[in-house]
Amino acid sequence: MMLEGKVAVVTGSGGGIGREIAIAMAVAGAKVVINDIGASLTGEGQSATPAEQTKAIIEQRGGQAAINTDSVSEWANAQRIVQCALDNFGRIDIVVNNAGILRDQIFHKTSPEEWLAVINVHLNGSFFVSRAAAEHYRKQGSGAFVHITSTSGLIGNFGQANYSAAKLGIVALSKSIALDMQRFGVRSNCLAPFAWSRMTSSIPAETPEQKARVQRLMAMGPEKNAPLAVFLASDAAKDVTGQVFAPRMNELFVFNAMRPVRGIHRSEGWTPEAIAEYALPALKPAFAPLERSGDVFSWDPV
């Protein structure tokens, strides 16, 4: 019971990875606020049914849960989400920022509406809910954030400029929270999941290579991501903050942070011509390849 006595808010927990995290946290002893608006993958429509289904599963397993159906994409809603935890369970200890939508589109065809819709839910939503919880964390001298990022942002992917930008932005947000709130006993980490879920069902499967990748991904259930989320939210991870992890089947990865990998000095300074002649040949061997997440994680999961 690693989360005994704690209260967790899990956004986007009406299905998929969010549902599995909410269930696992309840099984680990936490009281859980299930936040989900019940929208489609693109963020359209609304239904309480997905959240009610998650709540029923938690209660069947002996846990306690409450439901909130506000969208994370607005500040006032985020405050109500946190207040739901306070009203029902008297405190808040854990926030899992999992809510998300997709509006995949090749960059030169991406509309401002498609850009803003994804940024508002993923990045702004993560800020809003985290910020709403932050004051309570500060006063009680403890709290944990688990932000769901993606290898689409950490590494890159086709047709997901909006999603990738939001997910990499979440990493920077998490690091900033970790730095700013460490003195208050607050921790903030990211989890980049591997799972077949509604969010990954839109991955193209046209070429033999794409089909093989999708087949591998379909073998990875969303429940495989829940143990790491529970650990990161628990007191067992009291010294873990500002990190980015990825669970894949039975593997766990930690990502490195951006750091200089090579430098060059010229005492007389640089001109564009000197950069082309001297700096480029010296720096180019350290260039990162133009890869997608599927290129980097192309081997079979173990």
Q: Which residues have a catalytic role annotated?
A: 163
Strands (E), 12-134: 31-35, 65-68, 94-97
Give the residue from 74, 72, 86 showing the smallest Cα distance to 33: 86
> Distance (Å, rounded) from C-alpha 18 to C-alpha 138?
25
| C-alpha dihedral sign at 182, 92, 125, 74 | negative
User: How crowded is residue 166: how many other Cβ atoms within 10 Å of its Cβ?
Assistant: 26
Total count of residues recorded for the chain: 302
User: Rounded to an integer, what distance in angstroms lies between the CA atom of residue 60 and that of residue 64?
Assistant: 9
Kindly report the CA angle at 224 between 6 and 95, in degrees rounded to 5? 30
Residue 165, SS3?
helix
Cα dihedral across residues 263, 266, 270, 276: positive or negative: negative
Q: Are 65 and 54 in contact (CB under 8 A)?
A: yes
The token pair at 59 is 């209660």
* Spatial CA neighbour of 189 closest among 115, 130, 128, 259: 130
